[in-house]
A and B are shown apart, each in its own frame.
Chain A
Amino acid sequence: MKIDRRKFIKFTSLTTIGLAGTPIARALTGEDSLLAPVKPEPSLDNPLTARRWAMVIDLRKCLSKEGCTACINACHLTHNVPDFGNPKDEVKWVWKEPFEHAFHEQEHEYIDEKLKHAPTLVMCNHCDNPPCVRVCPTQATFKRETDGVVMMDWHRCIGCRYCVVACPYGSRSFNWRDPRPFIKKLQPDFPTRTRGVVEKCTFCEERLAKGLLPACVEACPEKALTFGDLENPESEVRALLKENYTIRRKPALGTQPEIYYII
């Protein structure tokens, strides 16, 4: 296609008007008012940032919808997590574990039977003091200094599985075989992994970079998952931690997990 001067000017002026026009139109229609905050388009220009990302899981809300796996499905779909259909090869980022396993130091003989077996949502705790990062011999797993997300470099991981051994929460999975044929619906905008590397939840760092909340948080129909900046006293997570008594998994180990549970 040949673009002459006329067409070029027409195109650029229209685009400029369009760009400038959107906020004006929004202001006029009241869409931009304080009551309804504008939701920017997903773009790398407006990422979600924090000094310390954390999550509060309201187990009461989570359990209120029995058999719900919306967050797990959303996460595993978004991140091309394979489904092998057997426990030996299993790869999982977010899953449900009976309460007595997720919190076995909290469990006791007379605990409510319902809670004892309650499917408790677990994932990487994005510890402040992550043992997996400490043991990794190649820094393929590392804590991002800016916001505390524990990340993975799947191109550097040598597959020694020392991080899997060191994680006190069983949050890490290894690719025992080629995962690609077992991805149900391939998402082209997220990398797939190769056999022989470790993977886990990354707090959706790729979504945060585009200004989106983690997939699980967004998918939860009960709004049981709250994600926010722990170091911002005004944040929603801080409000929840203030209003509720929360527990964390294996706090005695000193890993400082950043997933908090309201029971």
Chain B
Amino acid sequence: MLEKALKGTKAYWIWVISIMAVMGIAFLFYLKQYHYGLGVTGLSRDVTWGFYIAQFTFLVGVAASAVMVVLPYYLHNYKAFGKITILGEFLAIASVIMCMTFIFVDMGQPFRIVNVFLYPTPHSLMFWDTVALGGYLVLNVIISRVVLDAERKSIPPPGWIKPIIILSIPWAISIHTVTAFLYAGLAARPFWLTAVLAPRFLASAFSSGPALLILLCLLLRKFTKFDPGKEPIQKLALIATYAMAANVFFVLMEFFTALYSDIPEHLMHFEYLFLGIEGKATLAPWMWASEILALLALILLLNPGTRRREGTLVLACITVFISIWIDKGMGMVVGGFVPNPLGNVTEYVPTLTEIMISLGVYAMGVLLVTGLYKIVLSVRGEVRA
């Protein structure tokens, strides 16, 4: 089936080659990082994880959000998602691969990463995250391949795939839970030491993921013969609405606990993020932007009129996506490091090299989504001639 991604119009190839060019440039930046070391990033002794790990965390959420189409379709037999379920699964595959690449580029000794498998360490959450992500990738590759193959042959998918699909539902929840546990189990970092982190991760994932899927469906409709129909888009919008409301609720829970308990060690991180400490407030404008966008998104989504109108829905999806990308990425990750455990305030700003490498990883994700969606549309004969 993969060969279907290799046949396309001129426009398709121009698109593919442009993405590959971005990846090529990013690769040169990676070579620079590989030879010099991670010192090419803005990271330091005090802020040891940054932009890469932020993208990783955000994208695990996008990957997990496939469950928001898989669950209604397979568990509740919600037929309207029939056309887009595979798109969700392919988005998950691309996201997991991006996650793994972001981890790879963040390693000081990337080629020693096999040590994680040579010396499996169950007491490390990073070991479990590797298992969870790897397993999720395998599950989604098997499921999408088998289901799409059946669709191509116009036969129902084989019975044995059903239990695997059912397994993929809790597995999706697990990848994001374990990712939250990477942070939430550290006594050293009060900002992350919160039981609501995993639920918050899931809520933000189930909002930002469907929002992205809506945007992708509408893009496909614009550039191909594919038409998802109105109902699945509206249902996705409703899911994103509930999830976004839950996400904002959880964020407010965090605020309450930190502000009311008034424990300096907890409060300091919020203070840094939103107000700045000792005049250092690089992230503050970003955090305020994220909160304002979240509020705007909620208004647009909760109001049935704006949710149903496509123009405003697109705007809502974009605001959801950007708001969560800031909050869950840089805000969540860097916020945990500033101030450091000794109370020193060292700021972090990603360098051009870091941003270019990240852009390359995203380009790879776009390439994967392009190729995989091309296969789906070719199988369904829906490509515009």
Contacts and interface: CB of A to CB of B under 8 A. Distances in A.
Interface of A: 87-91, 97, 100-102, 104, 131, 134-140, 156-162, 164-170, 173-178, 194-198, 250, 253-255
Residues of A contacting B: mostly: loop
B166 interface: no
Contact of B341 (A134, A136, A169): A169
Contact of A137 (B39, B48, B127): B127
Nearest to A167: B188
B180 to A, nearest CB: 14
Given A89-B39, A167-B188, A138 B45 contact: no
A138 B130 CA distance: 12
Contacts of B44: 87-90, 176
Interface stretch (B79-87, B112-120, B237-245, B300-308): B112-120
Contact of A136 (B39, B124, B182, B337): B124
B43 A176 contact: yes
B223 to A, nearest CB: 39
Interface in B76-120: 103, 106-110, 112-113, 115-116, 118-119
Given A174-B38, A176-B39, A196 B108 contact: yes
Contact of B342 (A97, A135, A158): A97
Given A174-B38, A197-B109, A160 B126 contact: yes
B74 interface: no
B344 interface: yes
A254 B187 CA distance: 9
Interface residues of B, number: 42
B160 interface: no
Contact of A135 (B36, B112, B130, B186): B186
B346 interface: yes
B106 A160 contact: yes
Contacts of B353: none
A156 B125 CA distance: 18
A101 B344 contact: yes
Interface string B158-189: 00000000000000000000000010001111
Contacts of B46: 170
Nearest to B130: A137
Most buried by A among B39, B41, B127: B39
5 nearest CB pairs, A to B: A159-B108, A196-B108, A176-B39, A195-B37, A168-B188
A166 B340 contact: no
B48 A168 contact: no
Residues of B contacting A: mostly: loop
A159 B38 contact: yes
Contacts of B344: 101
A157 B341 contact: no
Contacts of A158: 107-110, 112-113, 115-116
Given A88-B39, A138-B115, A159-B112, 10 more contacts: A88-B45, A97-B342, A100-B343, A137-B127, A165-B48, A165-B189, A165-B337, A178-B37, A196-B37, A255-B187
Contacts of A137: 115-116, 121, 124, 126-127, 130
A140 B115 CA distance: 9
A157 B342 contact: no
Interface string B323-367: 000000000000001001111101000000000000000000000
A243 to B, nearest CB: 29
B10 interface: no
Contacts of B36: 177-178, 195
Interface in B31-62: 36-39, 41, 43-46, 48-49
B153 interface: no
A175 B189 CA distance: 22
Contacts of A164: 45, 48
B103 to A, nearest CB: 8
A165 B342 contact: no
A159 B109 contact: yes
A149 B119 CA distance: 21
Contacts of B115: 137-138, 140, 156, 158
Nearest to A122: B342
A3 to B, nearest CB: 48
Contacts of A136: 121, 124
B124 A157 contact: no
A237 B37 CA distance: 41
Most buried by B among A88, A197, A253: A88
Given A104-B343, A170-B341, A162 B126 contact: yes
B123 interface: yes
Contacts of B121: 136-139
Contacts of A104: 342-343
Given A160-B126, A177-B37, A197-B108, A138 B116 contact: yes
B45 A135 contact: no
A101 B38 contact: no
B109 A165 contact: no
Contacts of A134: 123-124
A139 B43 CA distance: 24
A163 to B, nearest CB: 10
Nearest to A135: B124
A175 B188 CA distance: 21
A157 B112 contact: yes
A253 B186 CA distance: 10
Most buried by A among B41, B109, B130, B346: B109
